Amino acid sequence: MKGSGLATVGAPETGDNGQTIYTVDVAKAGAPTVTRGNVAVKEGDENKVMTAGDVADAINNSEKTSSVVAGSKAVTVKAGKEDDKGNTEYTVDVATDKSIGRDNDGNMTVNTDNVTIVKDPTTGEVKANTTTLNNSPEGKVTEPTGDDAKKLVTAGDIANAINNSGFNVTAGDGVDGGETKGKKTQLIKPSETVTFDAGKNMTLTQADGKFTYTTKDNVAFNSIDMSNGKPDTTGSITNLKSGVGGTFADKAAPTDAERKAIADNINNATGDTLNNAVNVGDVQAATTKVEGDKGVTVTSKTNDDGSTTYTVEAKTDGTTIKVNDKGEITANTSELTNNPDGKVEEPTEPNALVTAKTVADAINNAGFNIQANGDEKSLVKTGDTVQFLNGKNIEITRDGNITVSTAKNVNFDSVQFGNEGPKITNNGGNINVGDKDGNAVKVTNV
């Protein structure tokens, strides 16, 4: 006897009564396991026989179990009664607060401030409420008003507002006889460049953010006015030595009395027929007229001796131009108070949004500092104007770039050629030529 399939037959045995006994076994599988409702058979037991009890247990244990829990305090879960089939119904509810609500139909709603955040009434979409920043022609950001001041602005709009802001530059009207050409107000935006240039007879040095203007060692002028006692053709050049032998005349120019005596002698000449001269009568018959042109007023006063004194003054409006205590024509200016710091500090929350008013204030209060000759710096804010004024003997022109040069006609107290060279000074209406210490020098190559 032998077994087949799932049955096996053991070796024959002899029973108590002498009979032959065969034992037949069937391959039995182990009890299956159940995980999350899934029944699994042990490896190798797939084709074995399982008892009815094991099968029943596997079926009963395969029923899947579900649980529902609340993920946060904003959600509540409530279990209902179990029905006759063992099913349980759970009710999930969302708690409401100031930002989330529920309408009459039980639908969830979102509450906004309608200033910085708004909700589309049609789609229900929640989005930021933005406004646009605008720049004035002077480069200043126009400050938003009303509800717009509380709205948000986009990064692109902020960049556009900053890139269109700036400060203004213009040339002044000139002081101490300085001249100005090409004057106009021009807006300088961020990243644009203001160029300082050196004009005729000027040297410009730039170092560590400082610009220094000086006159060149070798200059060319149309004329030189030696201060108030400027020499004219009636003066004489003194303190000279001849470089070719001989001597220079050292007689001083004639005085007023000497000039009158010369004129009287000419008038008394025999026959009164001198050529290329005038007599006293001619001089007395001459008429002197002094008239004011544009920008000048002339007043006259008759003296006791019959002569007339003419006073020529610059015409000013007293508002933009005035004459100071020294008799100088100068611009009438007022003092300005500047914030000592024009830099926008790093915010404590660099990734946070800002309102339009905050951005406008930050831009309008930002700027750069300007300083001359190591003096106290002053802040130039957005929309402000930097004005370049002509000083004495200086001429400023601007055609896109700012050029500083000396004027064609200048007024100096003295002129020296190099650090060790000769010096020309004013000496009571005469021209005095000497070395650096005032000693006499030779004039050569004449």
**In angstroms, how far is CA 427 from the centroid of its own chain?**
51
Number of domains in the chain: 2
Dihedrals phi, psi of 25, to nearest 5 degrees: -115, 145
Would you say the C-alpha torsion 121, 125, 128, 133 has a positive or negative sign? negative
| Per-residue pLDDT reduced to its tens digit, 207-235 | 887 888 888 888 888 877 766 655 554 55
- For residue 286, pLDDT over 60 is answered with no
160 and 21, same domain (yes or no): no
Residue 118 lies in a domain: no
Terminal-to-terminal C-alpha distance of the chain:
155
- Pair 146, 49 in one domain: no
Q: How far apart are CA 304 and CA 307, in angstroms?
A: 7
Output the six-digit token pair for 156: 């692109």
Tell me whether residue 23 is in a domain. yes
Mean pLDDT taken over the chain: 72
pLDDT for 244 equals 55
Q: Could you read off the pLDDT of 146-166 as tens digits, one per residue? A: 988 888 888 888 888 888 999
CA distances, 291 to each of 80, 84, 285, 288, 301 (Å): 113, 124, 19, 10, 14
Asked if 47 and 145 sit in the same domain, the reply is no
Same domain, yes or no: 327 and 198: yes
In a domain, 403, yes or no: yes
Domain boundary among 58, 81, 100: 58
* Residues 215, 336 share a domain: yes
- The answer to whether residue 96 is domain-embedded is no
**Final residue in a domain of this structure, among 42, 58, 74:** 58
Kindly state whether residue 406 falls inside one of the protein's structural domains: yes
Q: Residues 46, 151: one domain?
A: no
Shared domain check, 150 and 34? no
- pTM of whole model > 0.95? no
In a domain, 292, yes or no: no
Are residues 249 and 367 part of one domain? Answer: yes
Beta-carbon count within 10 A of 305 CB: 5
Question: Among residues 250, 227, 224, which one has the least CA distance to residue 237?
Answer: 250
Residue 420, domain member (yes or no): yes
Residue among 410, 375, 404, 372 nearest 390 (CA): 404
Q: What is the domain range of residue 333?
A: 141-255+310-443
* CA 271 vs CA 68, 111, 268, 274: distances in Å: 142, 118, 9, 8
Phi/psi for 149 (5° steps) reads: -65, -25
How are beta strands 75-82 and 88-94 bridged, if at all?
antiparallel
Query: If you average pLDDT over residues 258-278, what whole number do you get?
Result: 57
**What pLDDT, on the 0 to 100 scale, is given for residue 54?**
74
95 falls within a domain: no
